[in-house]
Amino acid sequence: MNFLIGLATGIFGGLVGLGGGEIMIPLMVRILKMEQRKAQGTCLVAFVFTGVSGTLTYMSRGSVDLTAAMLLVSVAVFTARLGASYANALPEWKLKRAFGWLLFAVTMLLLLKSYPSHIAGSPAEWTKVFILLFTGGITGFLSGMLGIGGGSIMVPAMVLLTGFTQYTAQGSSLLAMIPIGLVGAYTHWRFGNVSVKTLPGLIPGILIGSFLGGSLAHSLPEIALRIIFAVILIGTGINYIRAPKSIPETDDGNTIVQKL
């Protein structure tokens, strides 16, 4: 089962330029009955392998911008640690809802891509640098906090605000998530939020799936990639927004769970 989860994650991640946490986290929580925080920490470890496999595939097609990836990483590696530390102090239901709203928001932005990008034109080089640095900072924090590779932030930002094509944005995102995932995963590991026993099954599936997904991505039109990206993220986001709120323990030590 771990292998199949890794395979599905890798295919999705390689196809739309994400780490795959949008798929892996819900599957591990539902199927493996893993606690949300531990699922997020484990995903960050897996993202390193998704990033390596996916980057090699996209790089072979000339769809990676090394400078953009390095700008994103230069800030994200610092904020990822802050996000992971913050996540450890939050209740699980808050993490789930934050994760859901994030997916929903970035998907709405990506669906509007054709309007602002063509109206505004390509920004100046210094503006691109600022946008990439700012995006990297936000991405790192949210990646560490929510256990995502960061592609759900980086890809829309690069496509919407800097004029990158969907293919190049996805390839650069996969490269950037390697060091981001490493930093976030290490911090979660220190808090005990990584399920080491699931990794031997997940990683082979991720490596194979990332190659297949990245290869498939270049055979599809750009609009098809955006639609696939949007449909999956919206569905996952809505599911997480509806996560039940946990009520504090009663005097007898029992925990009451209530769905809002």
29: its two tokens: 């929580």
Residue 117's pLDDT is what?
A: 43
**Integer Cα distance of 238 and 160 in angstroms:** 23
CA-based radius of gyration for the chain: 18
* CA dihedral over 117, 120, 123, 128, signed as positive or negative: negative
- What's the CA gap between 203 and 102, in Å, rounded? 26
Q: How confident is the model at residue 253, as a pLDDT?
A: 41
pLDDT at 63: 83
The amino acid at residue 160 is L
HSE-CB for 212 with a 13 A CA cutoff: 13
pLDDT at residue 133, as a whole number: 92
CA distance 213 to 36: 26
In angstroms, how far is CA 93 from the centroid of its own chain? 19
**The pLDDT of residue 70:** 92
Is 0.75 surpassed by the pTM of this model?
A: no
pLDDT the model gives residue 18: 64
pLDDT single digits (tens) 108-131: 766 665 444 443 456 678 888 898
What is the pLDDT, as a whole number, of residue 78? 86
pLDDT given at position 89:
72
Positions of the chain with pLDDT lower than 50, given as ranges: 114-120, 247-260
The answer to whether the CB of 117 falls within 8 A of the CB of 58 is no
Residue type at position 180: I
Task: Report yes or no: 40 and 14 within 8 Å, Cβ to Cβ.
Answer: no
